[in-house]
Amino acid sequence: MAKQVNLNVTSPLEMVFRKSVPLASEETIRNGQWFELDNDGSAVLSVSDPAAIMLRYIAFNDYLSPDVSGTLPDGTSVSTGGMTGLIGTFEANVTSNAYTDNGIVAGSELTVENGKLTAADEYDVVWGIAKAAIGADGLLFFTGSSGVMLYVGAIGQQRK
């Protein structure tokens, strides 16, 4: 059975960096879901308040395929055993299990709740902007920022 891929990055990656961290025990984070760091510096699914200002990362690999850092001379893969999150601004397609469709349309501000993108309320922290309405294929196309938020919703409301 092929694993489901939940994130396709479509923008150049020259200014997007990878951050690899240990995965907290018992966590199941998938590509395209969002994680934050616990007190030990391990990756945990973002489940906190969408209005909370904190560092959050979009998963660039998932718990089924931990980040591989290299190959030994005998051909053995050496894995960090951890999660890799992106840091920077990017454009991406995300499949249906990495967002909650609650009326997302082109131009919707997106926040993170329960590890998934969702339409932001007025004072939520904004991590992305929907570039189009969700298509019949179930894809969400958005521009986002991982690692550091774009802005807080109330600021965005003033910019319109």
Kindly state whether residue 114 falls inside one of the protein's structural domains: yes
* Number of separate domains in the chain: 1
Kindly state whether residue 59 falls inside one of the protein's structural domains: yes
The pLDDT of residue 20:
84
Token couple for 85: 């999150």
pLDDT in tens, the chain (160 residues): 344 657 888 877 777 888 888 888 888 888 889 999 999 999 999 987 888 888 999 998 766 666 656 677 787 766 666 788 889 999 888 877 789 988 899 999 999 999 999 999 988 999 999 999 998 888 899 999 998 888 888 655 544 4
Kindly state whether residue 78 falls inside one of the protein's structural domains: yes
For residue 39, give its domain range: 7-159
Q: Is the pTM of this model over 0.85?
A: no
Q: What is the CATH number of the domain that holds 42?
A: 2.40.300
The pLDDT of residue 11:
78
Token couple for 52: 């909370």
The rounded Cα 103 to chain-centroid distance in angstroms is 19
Measured between its terminal Cα atoms, the distance across the chain in Å is 46
Question: Contact, 6 vs 31, CB < 8 A?
Answer: yes
The pLDDT of residue 2:
40
Kindly state whether residue 1 falls inside one of the protein's structural domains: no
What are the residues whose beta carbons fall under 8 Å from the beta carbon of 26, sequence distance 6 or more?
Answer: none
Q: What is residue 40's DSSP assignment?
A: T
Kindly state whether residue 27 falls inside one of the protein's structural domains: yes
Kindly state whether residue 101 falls inside one of the protein's structural domains: yes
The pLDDT of residue 125:
92
Residue that has been written with the tokens 């290299």 in this structure: 70
The residue type found at 65 is S
The pLDDT of residue 78:
63
The pLDDT of residue 158:
47
Kindly state whether residue 2 falls inside one of the protein's structural domains: no
